[in-house]
């Protein structure tokens, strides 16, 4: 637990939010992709991806400290990490009537990706704000350390 512990924690959060942003970019880019995967000789539309987050556990010594219940420092946490980028299989594909489309079925319907641009925009705002908030935390952290250097000046 160094003086940079808080900064490292913030760094993990920033990395996570960047990854969220990347996933949202992928979802938005593939909003019209009908050929994402070839399943049994048939093209399947793109499925929107979601990110699963988990607190970063850190080293063994942290577990030991928590188990011993000693020293609140073992309990402060180490940040956040992405455990998996999962495909959203819950939301069904959107069916669009377009007989001229190359991937239309016999009835003329095309399975479009289950990406909802509105939802992605909301997630985008959330990721951006979260990133900003973490940058603020970082700057506060730095300001605190700089202030400590002024002790005795």
Partner 1 sequence: MAIESISLFNPSQINPVSSTPKMSSAEAQENFGDFLKSAIDSVNESQKASDVATEKLIRGEDIELHEVMIASQKASITLNATLEIRNKVIEAYQEIMRMPV
The residue ranges that bind partner 1 (CB under 8 A) are: 4, 7, 10-11, 14-15, 18, 135, 138, 142, 145-146, 149, 152
Cβ distance to partner 1 smaller for residue 66 or 135: 135
Rounded CA gap, 45 and 42, in Å? Answer: 10
Smallest gap from residue 18 Cβ to partner 1 (A)? 6
**Please, which residue, 17 or 114, has the CB nearer to partner 1?**
17
Minimum CB distance to partner 1 smaller for 104 or for 124: 124
What ranges in the chain are assigned the alpha helix state H? 5-29, 60-68, 117-149
Closest contact distance (angstroms) between CB of 26 and partner 1 is 17
Q: What count of Cα atoms within 13 Å lies in the side-chain half-sphere of residue 113?
A: 22
Alpha carbon distance 111, 96 (integer Å): 6
């Amino acid at each position: 637990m160094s003086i940079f512990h808080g900064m490292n924690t913030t760094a993990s959060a920033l990395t996570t939010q960047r990854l969220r942003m990347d996933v949202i970019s992928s979802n938005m880019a593939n909003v019209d992709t009908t050929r994402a995967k070839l399943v049994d000789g048939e093209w399947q539309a793109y499925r929107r991806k979601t990110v699963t987050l988990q607190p970063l556990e850190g080293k063994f010594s942290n577990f030991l400290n928590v188990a011993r219940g000693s020293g609140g420092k073992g309990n402060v946490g180490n940040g956040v990490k992405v455990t998996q980028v999962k495909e959203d299989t819950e939301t069904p594909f959107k069916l669009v009537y377009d007989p001229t489309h190359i991937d239309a079925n016999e009835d003329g319907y095309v399975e479009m990706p289950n990406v909802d641009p509105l939802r992605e925009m909301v997630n985008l705002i959330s990721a951006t704000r979260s990133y900003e908030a973490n940058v603020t935390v970082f700057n506060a952290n730095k300001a605190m350390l700089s202030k400590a250097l002024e002790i005795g000046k």
